[in-house]
Amino acid sequence: MSFRSENSAKVLHLISVMPGIHLHEIQRILGVSLSSVRYSVERLARSGRILRDRTTGYSRFYPVTISEKERVVYSLIRNRTTRKILYELTQGSGSTNKELAEKIGLAKSTVSMHVHKLLQTNVAHLVLSEKGDFRIRIEDAEYVRKLLLKSEEFSKLSTMIANYTDLWNF
């Protein structure tokens, strides 16, 4: 197997276990040049072996077996703040922006910006409560919870890989 084929195989495997990963993350984990990663993902995307999503401002890569709904949720989960918000929203029956800000210890404006993304992508919606305030609820909380758990596994894997590569890059 050639060096390029070997890199492509590693990139393909990494994308399959970490949906929504982006170029620099692949490069950091594999410890190869950015141009090598770029070449591999271009080749894999052209051959239809991976999906590329450019909706977030930069490219994220997914296995071809992943659904549109999963791609949307995974792209949101990849952001640490949005992930915290999603986690909190899947724990109960909805929260106000103020309650979320207090629970996760962030400014209301920051929470509002991330909640806006959730609303735009139809992952969350606003519901008028009996008290007369608007509560943010996850559209399919069980589904999102399942993807959050998978994402935690990816995050742990990424940390372990980064620690391993750091160990050998002294």
**Distance between CA atoms of 72 and 123, rounded to whole angstroms?**
8
User: Running DSSP on this structure, what letter comes out for residue 18?
Assistant: S
Model confidence pLDDT, tens digit, residues 81-96: 999 999 999 998 789 9
pLDDT value of residue 97: 92
**CB proximity list for 65: less than 8 A, separation 6 or greater:** none
Give Dmax over CA atoms of the chain in angstroms. Answer: 65
Name the fold adopted by 3-66: Arc Repressor Mutant, subunit A (1.10.10)
DSSP line for 105-133: T--HHHHHHHHHHHHHTTSEEEEE-TTS-
What pLDDT sits at residue 4? Answer: 61
Domains 3-66 and 79-144 share a fold: yes
- Quote the pLDDT of residue 161: 59
Between CA 116 and CA 72 the distance in angstroms is 14
pTM of the model as a whole:
0.77
- The residue-averaged pLDDT of 68-79 equals 90
**Does CATH number 3.30.160.110 belong to domain 79-144?**
no
Sequence spans of domains, the chain: 3-66, 79-144
